[in-house]
Structure 1
């Protein structure tokens, strides 16, 4: 149901029946390692290219999520997902393998919650019984497309971020035991004129704040309604800017109830990640791995995930364009037991 101007509320409470996460070796060295289902020791995953490795990440996460849900892929009505590659080839080629009716979406690093929001809306409207929602990224594939190949060894400024190698997938269903997706807010594209591709956190922060404000306004709630509000991959630079913007706009959000996935997945003291993490896989694996496990344990009952995306391309950057950004928010609440 439309709520306010740009939000949906899901009165039928779509259930996240199961989820799965698959990450690379660097993510397996971080503080959330125990919350991931599969940790690969090789960035190539035995494949011939970074892009094929990324496809494999998504295939594994998707198949495991379906298995964890106690289903077969033939029972899944739709597969919704995306990634950072041109023409979202990682997801499209994974969809070829999965052979599930497919809707490809692109929201850059906001894709994880974009896909989940659409999946929940399909389930809530009874347009589907089971929907697979997923997103992925690969550090070396993203570096090659957006910046420089890793072999080039280019130096990065402190504002730069480190793309997560990982894939997260969830199965959303009409019934079952698990966490409920209760609402979603679809973000507007916000462009503050920033042009530095090595400072995406600063570019994305205004979009994140705009979507959170819209969510609170549309649902007529305060930030304290949630045990935790988490943005997708603003990392240190963007997180600090977002906190300043919340204060400027008089949004009563506290640092104890607001954090960022890009600051959670790596150890700043032991891993060289500049400002922190980024990538479609960042919010996907932190949400479907770490945060859902905390909810299952009862440590969190209501969370709002606000995945953030910088909608630039190598072509737009080379042509001197600024960086348009978007953020999509999805609320997840405990709805009983979890299988």
Structure 2
């Protein structure tokens, strides 16, 4: 059992790392045509995923990612102590009609597009307290379900402003635990059991709801950037670190506009992260070739980039320490139509490379 220690005003430091035992990603055809296409576990050309409704399609996609992650860890659903999962839909139906059907004790979450950060935070706390040897953390989003839920029917043909982001059709799932993943010498083992080491969670910074009074639901980057600024700033303060102490600070889905706002807000606090900052919404699409305007968004944006592209780089040692900061815009159809501002939240996850005690040896 690892131990968690409160650090600063909003953070926890795990004296024993919480290991990412496996990770899996499932995405749609548009995401599978982007710059990260070679890294995803599954690219589905059928956006309906063989189902009759968009919502069922997203449930199937998330369940597939969870099944892949569990299998990569050499486990079955019966080995998973609990699930922390969520999505963008009302009553989190993509998760409750998907992963929940696997018969695993289930906690449904809503953190908007920051849900993967919320899931990993709660999962890491549970592991560190000894409440589960294997915990599944997952989330998803689907372009069509998000447009149907929050914006307008696709057939309406309304023009999207340049500030708009494109909701990622994708899902990411991780199995986390107190022990490293299976040895890479074993058949079917996770690529996160790299010959050089593993990826692990060593700390978290819990986000606050930040409201700057934004009302534009088609400028998600602007709504979320203040929350990302607050979480990053507090993480650096709580852990007495500078941006240079991280190989990368990766936000969830601010896109081009949100990235500029984030850098400006941090500059006002005397902090410059421009040399180490990347954004999942800018990594997953080629904005010029794929016409996504400001970039990608949705729960599946940060989750699929994390599981497909980021975690293997940490396990290999290419990246030693990363601050992963998924961001979310907190709104509903009711709140938006009643004129309530769109607030934001961001959760910080410290991911570190843990060297193998003996190269080529078994765990």
TM-score (norm 2): 0.91
Matched, 1:286 2:322: no
Q: CA deviation at 1:152?
A: 1.8
Q: CA deviation at 1:282?
A: 0.4
Q: CA deviation at 1:39?
A: 0.2
Q: CA deviation at 1:336?
A: 2.8
SS at match of 1:10: strand
Aligned partners of 1:200 and 1:63: how far apart in 2?
31
Aligned partners of 1:70 and 1:269: how far apart in 2?
40
1:232 equivalent among 238, 246, 252 = 252
Q: CA deviation at 1:55?
A: 0.3
SS at match of 1:64: helix
Matched, 1:115 2:106: no
Aligned partners of 1:309 and 1:99: how far apart in 2?
28
What is residue 226 of structure 2 aligned with on the other side?
A: 206
2:282 equivalent among 248, 263, 267 = 263
C-alpha contact 1:11 1:124 (8 A) present in aligned 2: no
Q: CA deviation at 1:295?
A: 2.0
C-alpha contact 2:17 2:200 (8 A) present in aligned 1: yes
SS at match of 1:43: coil
SS at match of 1:216: helix
Q: Compare 153-162 and 174-183 and name the one that shifted more.
A: 174-183
SS at match of 2:342: coil
Q: Compare 147-156 and 33-42 and name the one that shifted more.
A: 147-156
C-alpha contact 2:255 2:296 (8 A) present in aligned 1: yes
Segments of 5+ residues of structure 2 without an aligned counterpart are: 182-197
Aligned partners of 2:205 and 2:315: how far apart in 1?
24
C-alpha contact 2:138 2:172 (8 A) present in aligned 1: yes
C-alpha contact 2:54 2:145 (8 A) present in aligned 1: yes
Q: CA deviation at 1:248?
A: 1.2
SS at match of 1:46: coil
Segments of 5+ residues of structure 1 without an aligned counterpart are: none
TM-score (norm 1): 0.98
Matched, 1:15 2:34: no
Q: CA deviation at 1:301?
A: 1.3
1:47 equivalent among 39, 51, 74 = 51
1:136-285 to structure 2, matched below 5 A, reads: 136-177=140-181, 178-253=198-273, 255-285=274-304
Q: Compare 76-85 and 146-155 and name the one that shifted more.
A: 146-155
What is residue 83 of structure 1 aligned with on the other side?
A: 87
Q: For each residue in 1:171-215, what CA deviation from the matched residue of structure 2 results, as whole angstroms up to 9, or x when unmatched?
A: 001112431100000111000001010011011101000000111
Q: CA deviation at 1:293?
A: 2.1
What is residue 189 of structure 2 aligned with on the other side?
A: none
Q: CA deviation at 1:163?
A: 0.2
C-alpha contact 1:179 1:332 (8 A) present in aligned 2: yes
Q: Compare 278-287 and 292-301 and name the one that shifted more.
A: 292-301
Matched, 1:299 2:318: yes
SS at match of 2:290: coil
SS at match of 2:160: coil
C-alpha contact 2:139 2:300 (8 A) present in aligned 1: yes
Q: CA deviation at 1:98?
A: 1.1
Q: For each residue in 1:145-176, what CA deviation from the matched residue of structure 2 results, as whole angstroms up to 9, or x when unmatched?
A: 10012222211100001000000000001112
Aligned partners of 1:38 and 1:151: how far apart in 2?
28
Aligned partners of 2:125 and 2:161: how far apart in 1?
40
C-alpha contact 2:211 2:343 (8 A) present in aligned 1: yes
Aligned partners of 2:145 and 2:73: how far apart in 1?
30
What is residue 93 of structure 1 aligned with on the other side?
A: 97
